[in-house]
Amino acid sequence: MLFFFETLIKIALLIAGLMTAAAYLVLVERWMAAWIQDRVGPNRVGVPLTKIRLFGLGQPAADGGKFFFKEEFTPGHVDRALYFLGPMIMLTAALAVFAVIPFGSVLPTRFGVEGLSEPIRLVVAPGMAAGLVYVFAVNGLAVYGALLSGWASNNKYSLLGGLRSAAQLVSYELPLGLGILGVVLVAGSLDLETIISHQAQSGAWNFMLQPLGFVIFFVAGFAESGRLPFDLAESEQELVGGYHTEYSGVKLLMIMVSEYLHMFTASFLIVILFFGGWHFWGLTGSSDVVTWPVALLRVVVLLGKVLLTILFFMVARWSWPRFRFDQLMGLAWKVMLPLGLLNLVVLAVWMEYGRAVAEATGLSYLAATAAVGWGTLAVAWLAVVWFAPSASDNRPQRSPVVQEVCR
Amino acid sequence: MMPIFLFLLCAAALCVGLLVVANLLGPRRPGPVKRMPYESGMDPVHEARRRFNIRFYLLAIAFLVFDVELLFLYPWAVANGAAHASQADPAAVSAPQGLDAAVAEGLVESRGLIFAGVMVFFILLTLGLVYDWRKGIFRWR
């Protein structure tokens, strides 16, 4: 029973934190967009009914509140059940991923309550052996959300947006899985906490050992969160709003928030899988038994890394143009998938024979692994440059049949 | 498993709660033009649900094949990694881990055999990719 309430408190804190973070990071993103585009940005809304501006910190509350006072409107031509189900699936799935994602290490106390687990682990579902598979499965539900809302809207823009979104999410899920497999292969576990402590104990973060896997996971994570270089599904200039063209009011809010949460998920996974989670050299230690300062420091380090990653996402969004759809699909299937396979095969071979090689050459095992990893990245980079079509003319080529007809 | 189901329940409840609150607070002003599909101000010409490009379907099939094949690799990755981690620090582990445990129990002959099997699996995966590529599934024109 106590465990039930402990879980409930964690869930409440986590959901409240995520929602607040999403609201305020939207404000941060708008500031950043303003800074990049050399304009002022939101700086007016402060305390209501006064003239205090507070640098626009009241903006998220005003925006959020406005969504609730909009008409909860359902167009006449939609498939009502699916129309409501789409955003609900998206938001539920986007939140539910965080059940296994740790947002710190442990707290060294039970707050004087007998029967609580000690130490309190800062994750809603601790010790989930199949954590990464769960993340992968629930994250994949986003495809259903996009497809359902696109189909149910019974609108041409929505249908095209939904199809594009599904194709994109589905294509980039494969490189994402290959990137994760590399980490699993090294850590020998699917549990995110174990993966962090594995990196903390060896002191080498995974992006140093398998940079190619990191690059693949990073790009695929970007694509899965559907933000600007990859926002083909809702490209305003072609498809109005993509699969949420027919949505308004709080259902639009749900879709927007879940898209933002996808970015959080990607950032958390990047930090946990490749940047050591809560670990930082000489600061946080690596043991399971901690004191209060260390416990808090670990939370701060983890969230700080996540924040930096999110800021990078934002800078990338406001500095890159959008892909074309054939480029998007080509990148997923013709570049990332083969490179992901290469990374995994090199890693598997190295794990089989690496120890013997390291002993024969007298290098330390970690250093040799890192050397192999960066060598693979260099080879992959050169191969892509060598085989990629010339960039001087990257217009889409017409098929011979069309050329014949149009001649 | 309980925490996860609780979390799913809370998330679903949040969705329903948001919709209910918005229904109570928002105004209601329906109109015939408002109910039409949005098409940049034009009257819609025909149904939205018409035939669409077959490539989406081919892509979905290709994804299904590769995703299931990747799922087969997860157990291997975990077992192999566990065996490898125990190899790095033999003093800390009492019993053989992961693949080593499978070998000790006589389920497979040796770790080399599994390694060879996985390599064959990778070759099959690559062949599938090459086949799809040559068939032009990834060509969007």
How far is the alpha carbon of B132 from chain A, nearest alpha carbon, in Å? 10
Contact A171 B59 (CB under 8 A): yes
Average pLDDT across chain B, whole number: 82
Residues 6+ apart with CB under 8 A from A36: A315, A318, A319
Contact A155 B48 (CB under 8 A): yes
> A389: which DSSP letter?
P
Query: What is the per-residue pLDDT across B18-68, written as a single tens digit (0 to 9) for each?
Result: 888 888 888 888 888 787 788 777 777 777 788 888 888 888 888 988 888
Is the pLDDT at A124 greater than 70? The verdict is: yes
**3-state secondary structure (DSSP) of residue A119:** coil
How far is the alpha carbon of A148 from chain B, nearest alpha carbon, in Å? 13
Q: What is the largest CA-CA distance in chain B?
A: 77
Is the pLDDT at B105 greater than 80? The verdict is: no
Chain A positions in Cβ-Cβ contact with residue B15 (cut-off 8 Å) = 87-88, 91-92, 254
User: Mean pLDDT over residues A140-154, rounded?
Assistant: 87
Chain B positions in Cβ-Cβ contact with residue A341 (cut-off 8 Å) = 122, 125-126, 129
The domain locations on chain A are 1-59, 70-388
Chain A positions in Cβ-Cβ contact with residue B79 (cut-off 8 Å) = 188
Is the pLDDT at B4 greater than 70? The verdict is: yes
Query: What is the per-residue pLDDT across A149-167, written as a single tens digit (0 to 9) for each?
Result: 888 888 888 888 888 888 8
Q: ipTM of the assembly?
A: 0.86
Q: What is the dihedral of CA A183, A139, B73, B83, to 10 degrees?
A: 40
Q: Which chain A residue lies closest to B74 (C-alpha atoms)?
A: A181
| pLDDT confidence tier of residue A240, bands split at 50, 70 and 90 | confident
pLDDT at A243: 83
Check CB contact of A157 with chain B, cutoff 8 Å.
yes
Q: Which percentage of chain A shows pLDDT scores above 90? A: 15
Check CB contact of B66 with chain A, cutoff 8 Å.
yes
pLDDT at A197: 85
Q: Amino acid identity of B30?
A: P
| pLDDT confidence tier of residue A66, bands split at 50, 70 and 90 | confident
How far is the alpha carbon of A310 from chain B, nearest alpha carbon, in Å? 23
Chain B positions in Cβ-Cβ contact with residue A120 (cut-off 8 Å) = none
pLDDT at A267: 93
Is the pLDDT at B69 greater than 80? The verdict is: yes
| pLDDT confidence tier of residue A215, bands split at 50, 70 and 90 | very high
Minimum-distance CB partner of B125 among A185, A341, A352: A341
Q: Which percentage of chain A shows pLDDT scores above 70? A: 93
Check CB contact of A66 with chain B, cutoff 8 Å.
no
Q: What are phi and psi of A112, to 5 degrees?
A: 75, 10
Residues 6+ apart with CB under 8 A from A215: A377
| pLDDT confidence tier of residue A49, bands split at 50, 70 and 90 | confident
Check CB contact of B57 with chain A, cutoff 8 Å.
no
Q: What are phi and psi of B70, to 5 degrees?
A: -65, -35
Chain B interface, mutation test: which of A185, A252, A327, A331, most B Cβ atoms within 10 Å?
A185
Query: What is the per-residue pLDDT across A363-374, written as a single tens digit (0 to 9) for each?
Result: 888 888 888 899
Contact B7 A99 (CB under 8 A): yes
Distances (CA, A) of B118 to A130, A357, A380, B96: 21, 21, 22, 21
| pLDDT confidence tier of residue A307, bands split at 50, 70 and 90 | very high
| pLDDT confidence tier of residue A403, bands split at 50, 70 and 90 | low
Check CB contact of B83 with chain A, cutoff 8 Å.
yes
Q: Which chain B residue lies closest to A253 (C-alpha atoms)?
A: B18
